[in-house]
Amino acid sequence: MTKISPYIFNTYKRQPLRFVRGQGAYLWTDRGEKYLDFFSGLAVCGVGHANPQVAAAVARQAKELIHTSNLYFTVPQEKLAERLSKRTFGGKVFFSNSGAEANECAIKLARRFGHVHNRKGKDRYEIVVFENSFHGRTMATLSATAQKKYQKGFGPLLPGFRTAKRMDLASVKKCLTPRTCAVLIEPIQGEGGVRPADRRFLALLKALCRRHDLLLMFDEVQTGIGRTGYLYAYQCLDVIPDVLTSAKGLADGIPIGATLAKPAVADLLKPGDHASTFGGGPVVCAAALAVLDILTPAYLKRIRQTGEEISRRLMEMRSRNPVITDVRGRGLMWGVQLDRPGDAVVPFCRENGLLVNCTAGNVIRLLPPFCVGKKEIDRAMDLIEKAIFSLTTIKKNL
């Protein structure tokens, strides 16, 4: 039975499946049906479902020590921060429990930066965000999310966000005021329809930020942790942000958020300025350390190779199906844009044992776990093409 529980807020449009077990790229329901997962629990289970190394690290740590609070030092947190810093831009880390919280910390950090580096005694607090962005559901991150559909009915929003057009530096410049302190951008918009920011635009954005003393903040909650074939997407974009947020895949499904900032920026927050009871606890940090152990340079290279194969197959699919208007992505994060609503693709694939997602109305989003091989790719591509083809037999713009 998959009816809605009277005991749970009815905030999710759930599909009629109840999963009880997972392994690698596969999930099993309570009825024993097997599904190939090209969604990874929303870009979370990158190193696969119930990853044995992650599970072992969690079990080992849970038997040692589960929680102490941040009033004390803990070894896994220190190790994880050092590893993240050394594998990125040498910054410092604040740990929280979700993507929204990681962004919340980045927003507070930007405001503190604008308070300390004020203009003629006046605080700077405005943050430039982009059309169709997604940064989370807490009040501050919802305010940063430039999509009306998520904000409707929750006003008044937090003031101080200005929305620029994507890939449009002139539009960013128009958003700048003497109160601007930061720019927040997803290197590839996820919920907004898998829309990559191009390298040139990001380089210009970085230069603009330098010129106006603004923090450049990358929301890598979805693009991070190997998803694009790099530990973080910025690493193939030749633009280093001042602040970077990470979450989703970082602990393969145990809740975590991390805000990375260059030391001079991180040091603007002093003892007592920001905190999280659970943030950076021993168990989740042990899980994240196991994930980072798996994501070696060789493993990341394999993700890029798998991504190239998927990219090639999707381009071929596009050439055969005029209903596909665009194919976008990098690594193992892909969007197949259609000329009509794509929602029907999801149940079609599901009924054939494949989990995919449709975002922004007409973009089929693929976020497979990194372990998918030829067999999984063949099966998924075949089903997705059939699903898309089935749409063309229905009237356009239904």
Ligand X SMILES: *Cc1c(COP(=O)(O)O)cnc(C)c1O
Residue ranges that bind ligand X, judged by CB under 6 A: 98-100, 103, 134-136, 186, 190-191, 219, 221-222, 247-248
Min. distance of Cβ 269 from ligand X in angstroms?
Answer: 20
Q: What is the DSSP string of 259-313?
A: EEE-HHHHTTSPTTSS--SSTT-HHHHHHHHHHHHH--HHHHHHHHHHHHHHHHH
How many Å apart are CA 302 and CA 229, to the nearest integer? Answer: 8
Q: Which is nearer to ligand X, 43 or 323 (CB)?
A: 43
List the one residue out of 93, 351, 127, 388 whose CA is nearest residue 246: 93
Min. distance of Cβ 247 from ligand X in angstroms?
Answer: 5
Q: Which is nearer to ligand X, 105 or 388 (CB)?
A: 105
How many Å apart are CA 227 and CA 220, to the nearest integer? Answer: 10
Q: Which is nearer to ligand X, 24 or 190 (CB)?
A: 190
User: In the bound complex, which residue of the shown chain has the CB atom lying closest to ligand X?
Assistant: 99
Greatest C-alpha distance within the chain = 66
| Beta-carbon contacts of residue 381 (< 8 Å; ≥ 6 apart) | 310, 313, 314, 317
Min. distance of Cβ 328 from ligand X in angstroms?
Answer: 15
Q: Which is nearer to ligand X, 126 or 186 (CB)?
A: 186
Min. distance of Cβ 220 from ligand X in angstroms?
Answer: 8
* Helices (runs of H) and strands (runs of E) counted in the chain: 13, 17
Min. distance of Cβ 299 from ligand X in angstroms?
Answer: 22
Is the separation of the CB atoms in 181 and 214 below 8 Å? yes
Q: Which is nearer to ligand X, 38 or 134 (CB)?
A: 134
Min. distance of Cβ 188 from ligand X in angstroms?
Answer: 9
Min. distance of Cβ 270 from ligand X in angstroms?
Answer: 26
First to last CA, the chain: 30
Is the separation of the CB atoms in 181 and 126 below 8 Å? yes
Q: Which is nearer to ligand X, 186 or 385 (CB)?
A: 186
List the one residue out of 32, 11, 58 whose CA is nearest residue 255: 58
How many Å apart are CA 363 and CA 192, to the nearest integer? Answer: 9
Q: Which is nearer to ligand X, 135 or 162 (CB)?
A: 135
How many Å apart are CA 115 and CA 122, to the nearest integer? Answer: 8
